[in-house]
Amino acid sequence: MQRFVPHRLASLPQRTARRAFTLIEVLLVIVIIGMLATVLVVTIGGQQEGAAIDTTKVLVQKVSGGVTQYQLAMGRLPTEADGGLNALINRPSDEEAAEKWRGPYASTSDLKDAWGNELKYEALEASEAIGGVKFKVWSVGPDQQDNTEDDIGNWDKNAQS
């Protein structure tokens, strides 16, 4: 026995059962993705800060080597009158000093730390030498404030004068 289907009903599209995501399911997925992204950003951010510190430590040692090379060539450490660390880059205008100068001992980019701050320099008196170091080259570090625990220098902070 066949059922009689009126012509009008036969032409209507058949409804098929479709399964859709509910609003709660979509929101839950968004929250999970957000939490994963947060963990990733925090992890990568910490690694980038560590890389910036390591880069600056290497840079401070490189510039310290440049100061030592300058001292060997010129017979003295750079002074404020010479321009401090800029004496590593710029040939002296004095003809006698210019003959001794074998630089440049650093590049302009070497004089800035990973946070874009100028490296600091100080020539020490013999009585102020720290563990045999006669000059200080340092970065103010991640907090960008001088004389704080995170400063990065070429001397052992635990050494006594």
Per residue in 27-64, pLDDT (tens digit) is 899 999 988 888 888 777 667 777 888 889 999 999 99
The CATH number assigned to the domain holding 67 equals: 3.30.700.10
Q: Does 14 map to a domain?
A: no
Side-chain half-sphere exposure of 144, counting CA atoms within 13 A: 6
84 compared with 4, residue with greater pLDDT:
84
Q: Does 48 map to a domain?
A: yes
Cα 40 to chain centroid, rounded:
19
Side-chain half-sphere exposure of 142, counting CA atoms within 13 A: 12
Q: Does 15 map to a domain?
A: no
Q: Structural domain of residue 66, as residue ranges?
A: 22-153
Q: Does 5 map to a domain?
A: no
* Domain count for the chain: 1
Full-prediction pTM beyond 0.85? no
